[in-house]
């Protein structure tokens, strides 16, 4: 991988991706939805590249930790930016969406902790620092959702409510899987 050979540290790529995500949130907050689109895409490109650089240079526990923290911050700040842009129209749906992300994230991380405790392994999502349990909505679907929001910002409340319901479905499915595997 070129970035690794050039001496680029994977944590720098993670932080660059987070920087693009924060810039996208600022653009959204100021109503510059189309300007946010390339920033969102650059953020997620960096999120994919950091893992490739890490695999080429050597995966670290801290790198995996930083990556998941940056991901969670990105996934929170984009909906929050839509709420910031128009609190009256987007506040309730934004709160519901963020709550669903919170619950879904808790089921994801809780599952990962128990999977690690039981030394479970999967390569379904590629080589990762922690166990990734699959769900109905994952990173790609969320990126597509954020792009859709930028293209149709007036539909935020409806789209966010639908996506939040699907996130809760994903969380419930993961909880049922945990009941089956960890009891």
Specify the higher pLDDT residue, 81 or 128: 81
Cβ(135)–Cβ(104) below 8 Å: yes
Q: pLDDT of 162-177, one tens digit each?
A: 999 999 999 998 899 8
Q: What is the pTM of this model?
A: 0.86
Which distant-in-sequence residues (6+ apart) come within 8 Å of 135 by Cβ?
104, 108, 170, 171, 173, 174
- In the chain, the number of structural domains is 1
* Alpha carbon separation from 132 to 71, 123, 129, 147 (Å, rounded): 14, 9, 9, 24
First to last CA, the chain: 42
Of the spans 64-68, 73-77, 115-119, 132-136, which averages the highest pLDDT? 73-77
DSSP 13-36: HHHHHHHHHHHHHHHHHTT-HHHH
Residue 34, domain CATH:
1.20.120.1760
Structural domain span for residue 31: 2-182
């Amino acid at each position: 991988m070129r970035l690794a050979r050039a001496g680029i540290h994977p944590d720098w790529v993670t932080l660059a991706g987070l920087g693009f995500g924060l810039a996208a949130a600022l653009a959204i907050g100021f109503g510059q939805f189309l300007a946010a689109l390339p920033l969102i895409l650059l953020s997620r490109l960096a999120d994919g590249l950091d893992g490739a650089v890490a695999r080429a240079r050597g995966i670290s526990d801290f790198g995996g930790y930083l990556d998941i923290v940056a991901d969670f911050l990105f996934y929170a700040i984009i909906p929050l930016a839509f709420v910031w842009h128009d609190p009256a129209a987007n506040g309730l749906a934004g709160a519901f969406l963020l709550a669903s992300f919170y619950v879904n994230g808790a089921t994801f991380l809780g599952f990962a902790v128990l999977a690690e405790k039981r030394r479970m392994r999967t390569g379904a999502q590629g080589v990762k620092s922690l166990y990734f349990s699959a769900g109905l909505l994952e990173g790609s679907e969320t990126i597509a959702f954020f792009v859709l929001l930028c293209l149709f910002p007036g539909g935020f409340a409806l789209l966010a409510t639908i996506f939040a319901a699907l996130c809760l479905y994903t969380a419930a499915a993961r909880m049922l899987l945990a009941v089956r595997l960890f009891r």
